[in-house]
Chain A
Amino acid sequence: MNAAAGGPVAAIVRQHRLRWWEALPWAAIVAAYFLFPDHRALGAQILFMTLFALSLDLILGYGGIVTLGHAAFFGVGAYAAGLLAVHGWREPITGLLVAGVAAGIVGLVSGLVILRTRGITLLMLTLAVVFMLEEIANKASSITGGADGLQGVRLDPVLGTWRFDIFGRTAYVYCAIVLFVLWLFARRLVHSPFGRSLTGIRENVQRMHAIGSPVHRRLVTVYAIAAAIAGVAGALQAQTTQFVGLNAISFERSGEVLIMLVFGGAGRLYGAFVGAPAYMLAQDSLAKTDPVYWFFWLGLLLVCVVLFARGGLLGLLDAALRRLRR
Chain B
Amino acid sequence: MTPALETVALSKSFGALPVAQAIDFALVPGARHALIGPNGAGKTTFVNLITGKLAPSAGAIRLGGVDVTRLGEAARVKRGVARTFQINQLFRGLTTLENVVLAVSEREGRAGDLFRVAGSRPALVEEAYAMLAGLGLADDALRPVRELAYGRQRLVEIAIALGLKPRVLLLDEPAAGVPATESRVILDAIAALPADIAVLIIEHDMDLVFRFAREITVLVQGAVLTQGPPEAIRADARVREVYLGERDG
26 example contacts (A-B, Cβ-Cβ < 8 A) are as follows: A3-B142, A8-B128, A9-B125, A11-B97, A12-B118, A13-B118, A13-B119, A15-B118, A192-B116, A192-B117, A193-B118, A194-B114, A195-B118, A196-B111, A200-B102, A204-B92, A207-B89, A207-B90, A208-B102, A210-B51, A211-B102, A211-B103, A211-B106, A211-B163, A213-B111, A214-B74
Beta-carbon contact of A210 and B77 below 8 Å: yes
Taking CB atoms, residues of chain A closer than 8 Å to B51 are 210
Interface residues of B (CB under 8 A from A): 51, 53, 73-78, 82-83, 85, 89-95, 97-98, 101-103, 105-107, 110-120, 122, 125-126, 128-129, 138-143, 160, 163-164
Inter-chain contacts of B111 with A (CB < 8 A): 193-194, 196-197, 213
A positions within 8 Å CB-CB of B: 1, 3-4, 7-9, 11-13, 15-16, 188-189, 191-197, 199-200, 203-204, 206-215, 217-218, 221
Selected from B91, B129, B141, the residue in CB contact (under 8 A) with A207 is B91
Instruction: Identify 17 new A-B residue pairs, CB closer than 8 A, beyond the known A188-B115, A192-B118.
Output: A3-B138, A3-B141, A3-B142, A3-B143, A4-B141, A7-B129, A12-B118, A12-B125, A13-B119, A192-B117, A193-B110, A196-B98, A197-B112, A203-B92, A206-B85, A210-B89, A218-B112
In whole angstroms, what is the CA distance A215 to B117 when docked? Answer: 20
Q: Which of B91, B114, B140 contacts A192 (CB 8 A)?
A: B114
B107 and A212 contact, CB distance less than 8 A: yes
Q: B138 contacts which chain A residues (CB < 8 A)?
A: 1, 3
Kindly list the 4 A-B residue pairs having the minimum CB-CB distance in the complex, ordered from nearest.
Answer: A212-B77, A12-B119, A13-B119, A203-B91
Bound-complex Cα distance A217 to B143 (A) = 30
Tell me which residues across on chain B come within 8 A of A212, comparing CB atoms.
73-78, 106-107, 164
CB distance from B142 to the nearest CB of A (A): 5
* Residue among B97, B110, B164 with max Cβ neighbours from chain A (10 Å): B97
